[in-house]
Structure 1
Amino acid sequence: MMTNTESILSYLEKNSKNIPYQVWIRKPQGESQYVTNDININSSVSPPSIPRNPTFTTFRQNQHVYLSFCYLEDYEVIIATPEKYYVMKAEELEHLNLLYKLSYQQEIVQKKDLELKNLIGGIRSITSSLDLDEVLKKIVTNTLKVIPAADRGFLQLYDPVIDRLIPKAFVGFNDRLQLFKVKIGESITGKVFEDGKPRIYHSEEDVYAAMDKYHISEKNNDHILSSISPFNSLKSAMCVPVSIGENRLGVMIVHQRSKEKKLTEYHLNLLNGFASQAAVAIQNAQLYSEVKMRLEEVTELSEKLKEKNQFLLKRNEVHETLTKLSLQNKGAEIIVLELNRMIGKSLSYFHTAENVWYPHQANRVPVFSSDEIEKIFLKRRTPVYVDIFTQKKESYYLYPIVNGATFLGCFVVSVSESFSPLDQITVEQGSAVLALELVKKLTMTELYYTKTHEFFNKLLQNKNREACLEKGKEFNLNLNSFLFVAIFEVTIYNDLQVLEMNIHRLISRIKRKLQHFSILIYGFHNKVILLVSLSNPSSVSAITKQFEVTINEWKANSGAPLRVGVGTIYKGIENVAKSYEEANLSLSYLKSRNKSELFFYEEIGVNRLFLQQPSDDIERFLNEVFVPLQTEHGEHNDLEKTLLAYIKNNKSASNTAKQLHIHINTLYQRLKKIEKQLNLSFDNSEDALKIQLACHLRETLFYQI
């Protein structure tokens, strides 16, 4: 079946009677077609310009007859034949005109059908997805199908956060285009977005002139030029707004650089129509993205609520189970064993006051020593992860158990594998229940200390010897054996709860050190009172050695210094009060010298004569000696220092002068002045005793006064 063009050429051949001819067909959008039956004719020769006529025109020039047939949309057919051979009749011309008109109309219908097909296909494509990124890519791809005369393009959407039009999808450009971000009103795309008017430019010069007219920045100019590599000259460009009503979302621009077809106002309208459909697709995708995001947020929130609900259920379950064990007085060890079962991991508990680990396991060495636990939580009251490296890495979760600011102990959980939030909640709830259990136990311990204190007071009074001896057996004490009292004093404390816990810890530590001896021990305020019963007095040295170890460990771990006063060892219950008094005097001696150490009453020496004296009396006595030596230069002047040095050097003038770095004559002058100020003489035995006693008290027992 012949095409329209073939039918027309057949008609020409039939009616031209072998006369040579040329046919030029000029179509809209710059397309053209050339046909001839003479191979000797130069095909590059163009026909002359012929005035357009609604039907057809005959034009003669250069011994040729030119027949011009004009139709709508700049569709034109020109037939040229040598004038000497021209034999076409009017009815033949009319028939030829009708043939070309029919061909033109059929071609227009086919073109419109294709455009409509591409437009519908493009709309169907961009609306087939709700994924925003995919929709944006499809818009640019299908734009070039709807406008086949264009061969590259890009889509920009407005970003209100940075107040710029941002490239979102492109075809025919490199990634440098992503840097092309224009302000509203800047360059062609910015201007189209600003006023919403579609624009078409028919030459490269028009495009660049418009870019300059709308003040494209130097940076954006570099970006758009470098995004086309290698650079190809433009033939034309079209830009339309992407809008829904008055709401502009962005702009679409296409370039023509290599194709022969011409971009026209018709194409601009077609692009504008497609852009309107694209705007709807973009808005739908944006709405879908927002709904999807909200749905994801709701889903995430729902999952979090579900997770929190699981946490609450787990918390209630753990609390109910452990509280039941506590109310049944099952004790700390049973609670710890139940926690092990709940989390399915190795969990142990360190009891600070008792210095023991739960659960008790024979021949098992704890991962952490008591000293390490105390150092870790000396100032920390929050959980901590600790890694230990031996043959392999082992991880542990340490959770402190506190009552107020008081550290009661901690859980140690092996977490070398997973440790879920539910496990953490179980440990957290376990700590709360165990804290109550420990406080309950500490209260019972306080009651025990109170009863022990009452019994110790009866020992001090010794009113009913036989009853005390019998009661002592309950404490595993032989009150007829050798006995002595030691008093441990915590010197620094601010919080009474912390002090109470420290007293419990100290008692536990002492009991552990003296576990092979018969003792009675209890806490009272900031002191620990200890009564030791010995069958052999030589064992005192072993006990006092443990006292020194306890003091050093305590200082290293808690930082709070201890004073320990030790009374003399005596035989029999009747001397308990005496040893207790001596222990208190030893503490007083340490306090007067501002020392924190272990001190024995026997070491006080001559100072024991003054320990019972009221401090006011001793202060008055010292003032009688030292106040007259004070001058306007201050309390610690040369005369006081000279007197103390002179007595300390056993009245040796040469040694005193050497110590003070003064000439011996200067020393003699000072001594004379001291005698004058105090109205006494160093040669008088009574005066000398007074001065020696004052200097001794000043430098030893009451040096602070």
Structure 2
Amino acid sequence: MPTDPEPDPEPDPEPDETAAVVRLLELLASDAPLGVIAAASAPAEARELALRISTVRDDHRRREAGLAALLDTARELATESDPGQVLEAIVRRARTLLRTDLAYLTLYDAEAGDTFMRATDGSVSAVFQSVRLALGAGLGGLVASTHKPYWTADYWSDDRFRHTSAIDGAVGEEGIIAICGTPLIVESHFVGVLFAANRSPRPFTREEVALLGNLATLAAVTLVQTRALADAENALRALSEAHETVRHYADGIEKAAAAHDRFASLVLDGGGVDDITHALGELLGGWAVLVDENGTRRSAYGPAPAEGPSGANPFAALDSVPDFDTGRLVERDGVYAVTITAARERLGTIYVGGLGHLSDSDQRTVERAGVVTALVLLFERNAADARQSARNRVVSDLVTGRGTVEERMQVARAAGFDPRAPFCLLVLRGEDRAAHRAVLLSASTATGERALVGSHEGDIVALVPGTDAGALATSVATRIGRRTCVTVAGVGPVTDVAGVPAAHLEGVRTVGALIALGHRGRGAAATQLGFAGLIVGADPDVDDYVRRLLGPLLDYDQRRGTDLVGTLDAYFAAGASPRHAAGALHVHVNTVSQRLERITALLGESWQQPDRSLELQIALKLRRLQAQR
């Protein structure tokens, strides 16, 4: 059979094509850019193949560069032990690898349920550096909520994520347009988001997104490990500090126990608050001061600050320190104080100073001194209460006139009071019944050791040596008023016990008058109030009394614009002389006569009778006293 003719062999390439292909190979060998290869004169098929080879080679080189960069990053992160420095290294490396204008990292806040800016590189906006991203808000919030990478070439025109005014404002102030974000995840635990961003439009290739993702993975693992290492170091440090604290605490307990033993020994040996204050100062090596509940200095040790004028407490500024009344130690300007309390009542305060900083054991020593001092003061108070009960009975006997004069003289002398010398009687009435005992103790202190002070029918009665009742009443009211409001009436001088009941009755009336006239918290003698101290009762109504007597004149003056009340006052002041009253009022005597006739018409014919006249004069006096308030 005839055979098919053999196909003609392919013709050899043209010499020009061969040279062009060789030229392409030379360009590939010399790493010529893609643009040069694409522009080379060569057959289209050969040029396309050369471009593919160059592209693949460039991809391999980029991958190798990325892997090398990741290795460098791993080595750099491995040298960091501080979590903050690790984060700074991560964003710095991300910006370098992706060649972006800035890079930043946010961390997840589990309590707030959002992410917050933690590290930036290349950022210039303070607002951007402090922004927080809610889950699902902004591109970062979308990455955080989905745990998947997202990127955009133009943030402002991308509607895949929810724009918010806060996030858009921060992004706008930074000038960001293109953003790529990828999550930091370790063992399914979301840690945060790593970003690379540009201030001009820029598409991110998948290779760049993958590179940022690899960096985020490496960073997340390193960050978790660094945190674990830091936590372990902190735990070890805390354990060491705890051991040292326990040792110091044990030493402090031993020292405080020794101080307690010394305080207890002092008390058991019959020592008082003076001994405790001295022991405290010696133990601490500084000065110590004890004041009572009224601020009066009871005892002191060492070069303590002196009292101010009139016994003012130089440590009063400490009273405003928070927790001052809790029984715990407080400090201000190198002075320490602890209040002495029992049954929620403040008995006094211990102040110490000249020590510098107090150690924990020394602080416990001061607090323990406060506890022991409270016990001693309670013992003293119980004894004082027993003595005060006896004084109360003596005062009640004196003001009620119980027994013969001679018996009352003997009772007063037995209580330590000498009724033969002139004395004044004070009646003290406090605002708060709960503070009655404190006022009683304060009155004893304010009136001195020679006075006899007791409680009678809710008031406090004091028999005080002296002759100026007004001055004594004012002084006592002022002194006690530093702690609580108390009104004090003074009567006297009284020369024997027989005059005490009448003086007491006058004092009760006077203190009632002071309160009725609006002078609470003040002190005065009955003579300083004129007739007011003689007419008011236990619960006087001064306004009603004045209105009842002078009401017709007051109403007439208000309607007519006259001054009948002033004329009546001037008439009595002039000794019931119309002529002298006219001179005082600078009017004609006939004018005064006409006004007196009008007064008679309004008050009745009996207004000039002695009893009625006296009451009118008392009412006029009270009205003037009211006007002085």
TM value normalised by structure 2: 0.63
The amino acid of 2:174's aligned partner reads: H
The amino acid of 1:132's aligned partner reads: P
Aligned pairs for 1:175-194 within 5 A: 175=124, 179=128
- 1:31 to 2:10 alignment: no
Distance 1:324 1:490, change over 3 A: farther
**Are 2:409 and 2:497, in contact at CA under 8 Å, matched by a contact in 1?**
no
Distance 1:444 1:264, change over 3 A: closer
Could you say which residue in structure 1 is the equivalent of 2:357? 418
The amino acid of 1:562's aligned partner reads: V
User: For 1:564, which of 452, 471, 490 is the aligned residue?
Assistant: 490
The amino acid of 2:489's aligned partner reads: R
User: For 1:491, which of 414, 426, 429 is the aligned residue?
Assistant: 429
- 1:132 to 2:133 alignment: no
**Are 1:346 and 1:413, in contact at CA under 8 Å, matched by a contact in 2?**
yes
- 1:522 to 2:453 alignment: yes
Distance 1:650 1:31, change over 3 A: same
Find the aligned partners of 1:604 and 1:280 in 2 and give their Cα distance: 88
The amino acid of 1:74's aligned partner reads: I
**Are 1:567 and 1:580, in contact at CA under 8 Å, matched by a contact in 2?**
no
Find the aligned partners of 2:620 and 2:44 in 1 and give their Cα distance: 134
Could you say which residue in structure 1 is the equivalent of 2:575? 650
**Are 2:489 and 2:507, in contact at CA under 8 Å, matched by a contact in 1?**
yes
**Are 2:554 and 2:565, in contact at CA under 8 Å, matched by a contact in 1?**
no
Find the aligned partners of 2:116 and 2:537 in 1 and give their Cα distance: 90
Q: Aligned with 1:359: secondary structure?
A: strand
Distance 1:326 1:213, change over 3 A: same
Deviations 1:34-59 (A, max 9, x none): xxxxxxxxx99985223456xxxxxx
Q: What displacement does 1:399 show?
A: 4.4
Q: Aligned with 1:523: secondary structure?
A: strand
Deviations 1:49-77 (A, max 9, x none): 23456xxxxxxxxxxxxxx997896159x
Q: What fraction of aligned residue pairs are identical, expressed as a percent?
A: 13
Q: What displacement does 1:511 show?
A: 2.1
Distance 1:330 1:110, change over 3 A: same
Q: What displacement does 1:134 show?
A: 3.6
Could you say which residue in structure 2 is the equivalent of 1:203? none
Distance 1:430 1:368, change over 3 A: farther
Distance 1:119 1:472, change over 3 A: closer
Q: Aligned with 2:26: secondary structure?
A: strand
Find the aligned partners of 1:676 and 1:177 in 2 and give their Cα distance: 89
- 1:74 to 2:22 alignment: no
Q: What displacement does 1:494 show?
A: 0.9
Q: Is 671-680 or 188-197 further displaced after alignment?
A: 188-197
Find the aligned partners of 1:124 and 1:286 in 2 and give their Cα distance: 14
Q: What displacement does 1:197 show?
A: 6.2
Deviations 1:217-267 (A, max 9, x none): 6974673579xxxxxxxxxx9967355488774346599x9xxxxx997x5
Find the aligned partners of 1:22 and 1:615 in 2 and give their Cα distance: 131
Q: What displacement does 1:652 show?
A: 2.0
Deviations 1:470-513 (A, max 9, x none): 8877667777xx433422222333134x332232223223326x
Find the aligned partners of 2:173 and 2:529 in 1 and give their Cα distance: 95
Could you say which residue in structure 2 is the equivalent of 1:503? 440
Could you say which residue in structure 2 is the equivalent of 1:233? none
Could you say which residue in structure 1 is the equivalent of 2:158? 214
Could you say which residue in structure 2 is the equivalent of 1:288? 228
The amino acid of 2:86's aligned partner reads: V
Find the aligned partners of 2:586 and 2:369 in 1 and give their Cα distance: 69
- 1:554 to 2:491 alignment: no
Find the aligned partners of 2:103 and 2:119 in 1 and give their Cα distance: 6
Aligned pairs for 1:355-366 within 5 A: 355-359=296-300, 366=306
Distance 1:290 1:695, change over 3 A: same
Deviations 1:423-465 (A, max 9, x none): 4554444334433432332332232233345556778666595
**Are 1:243 and 1:275, in contact at CA under 8 Å, matched by a contact in 2?**
no
Find the aligned partners of 2:305 and 2:619 in 1 and give their Cα distance: 53
Find the aligned partners of 2:120 and 2:408 in 1 and give their Cα distance: 99
Find the aligned partners of 1:478 and 1:252 in 2 and give their Cα distance: 95
**Are 2:273 and 2:376, in contact at CA under 8 Å, matched by a contact in 1?**
yes
Deviations 1:355-384 (A, max 9, x none): 4431378x9883445642299499969639
Q: Aligned with 1:447: secondary structure?
A: helix
Q: What displacement does 1:131 show?
A: 3.8
Q: What displacement does 1:578 show?
A: 1.9
Find the aligned partners of 2:536 and 2:147 in 1 and give their Cα distance: 102
Could you say which residue in structure 1 is the equivalent of 2:610? 689
Instruction: Identify, as 1 or 2, the structure richer in helix.
Output: 2
**Are 1:349 and 1:412, in contact at CA under 8 Å, matched by a contact in 2?**
yes
Find the aligned partners of 2:70 and 2:179 in 1 and give their Cα distance: 17
Could you say which residue in structure 1 is the equivalent of 2:593? 668
Could you say which residue in structure 2 is the equivalent of 1:157? 105
- May I ask how many residue pairs the two structures share in their alignment? 560
Aligned pairs for 1:343-422 within 5 A: 343-351=284-292, 355-359=296-300, 366-368=306-308, 371-373=311-313, 376=316, 383=324, 395-401=334-340, 408-414=347-353, 417-420=356-359
Find the aligned partners of 2:62 and 2:618 in 1 and give their Cα distance: 124
Could you say which residue in structure 2 is the equivalent of 1:59? none
Distance 1:693 1:307, change over 3 A: farther
Q: What displacement does 1:553 show?
A: 5.1
- 1:440 to 2:433 alignment: no
Distance 1:323 1:523, change over 3 A: farther
**Are 1:487 and 1:529, in contact at CA under 8 Å, matched by a contact in 2?**
yes
TM value normalised by structure 1: 0.58
Q: What displacement does 1:278 show?
A: 1.9
Q: Aligned with 1:500: secondary structure?
A: helix
Find the aligned partners of 1:478 and 1:212 in 2 and give their Cα distance: 100
User: For 2:389, which of 439, 450, 471 is the aligned residue?
Assistant: 450
- 1:587 to 2:507 alignment: yes
Find the aligned partners of 1:338 and 1:273 in 2 and give their Cα distance: 71
**Are 1:489 and 1:563, in contact at CA under 8 Å, matched by a contact in 2?**
yes
Unaligned runs of 5+ in 2: 1-21
Find the aligned partners of 1:636 and 1:329 in 2 and give their Cα distance: 74
Q: Aligned with 2:105: secondary structure?
A: strand
Distance 1:549 1:397, change over 3 A: farther
